[in-house]
A = this chain, B = another copy of it.
């Protein structure tokens, strides 16, 4: 595998399907780790970026930021991992390393803008970064994670985005044994939120619009499922939760959930970027010191903490393994929420 020619799967336009292509990876520098990618999770962001749903996509784009693999080469100053070790890469491959956020292990909030694993501004090559739908990736060791050896590697991949995105708010808002946590939406993020909150010892409730996911939610660890369209059920959980993790990625009314927060409780949005429509009512917030917050992925140290926690507690994602050649079909199924709960690409298929 030469540095100049790495096999990948990506697209050249918003309306073109993903297809095989060659991309450039940099030569390993003194601080870099080269990773042979074994599995890559499929995140909604992959699809949105490939199709330029948010604007700003630079083509060609190679998605993928739930990367696990094996170290194949390291720079001479690398201390974190050695050749042959398992390794993971999440949503970030670089940040400024000197702002207040970076100094506090909050690279995801880098004040100078972090470098995304794909469609970011590659400081080395001066082009866009390319993600994990590829044979290999070269990343500065600071942004490479150690992967616990005892877990099913394919099911670890989604921890690098879906896992850390829900772990970070659970930790920031101090969820523990006495906490009552609710999760809104049972998808890639929601199912990880249930598992991780349960792992931390919390009592966990899933809010779902339909009863169809009740059995699954309980198998994942939820203590209770509340059907959010059922007024009686919603009434029964008024004022209950210390933390609600809202993973719903489209506009929806959060007011009914705010009312289910305990005094001083927090509803944290991790999925929906946009305006709160219908309008947020401040009355229950003021009369109960309730807060509405946002959170994005997590820092590198926190991601390592999460992976170590998952190793210790045997927590992985629920996955459906696909070949890279089926990625366009997977995107269509993902749009219909037809996946329980995360597609993961077996990157061996790229060698075919």
Contact = CB atoms under 8 A, between A and B. Distances in A.
Interface string A273-296: 111111111111111111111111
A286 B295 contact: yes
A282 B273 contact: yes
Contacts of A285: 269, 292-294
A289 B109 contact: yes
Given A100-B263, A239-B111, A263-B106, A293 B283 contact: no
Given A109-B289, A293-B289, A279 B276 contact: yes
Interface residues of A, number: 37
A303 interface: no
A300 interface: no
Interface in A279-334: 279-296
Interface string A15-44: 000000000000000000000000000000
A117 interface: no
Contact of A294 (B239, B275, B276, B287): B287
A106 B239 CA distance: 15
Interface in A50-71: none
A266 interface: yes
B289 A292 contact: no
Contact of A282 (B279, B286, B291, B294): B294
Contacts of A294: 282, 284-291
A294 B289 CA distance: 5
A296 B291 contact: no
A168 to B, nearest CB: 8
A172 interface: yes
B263 A286 contact: no
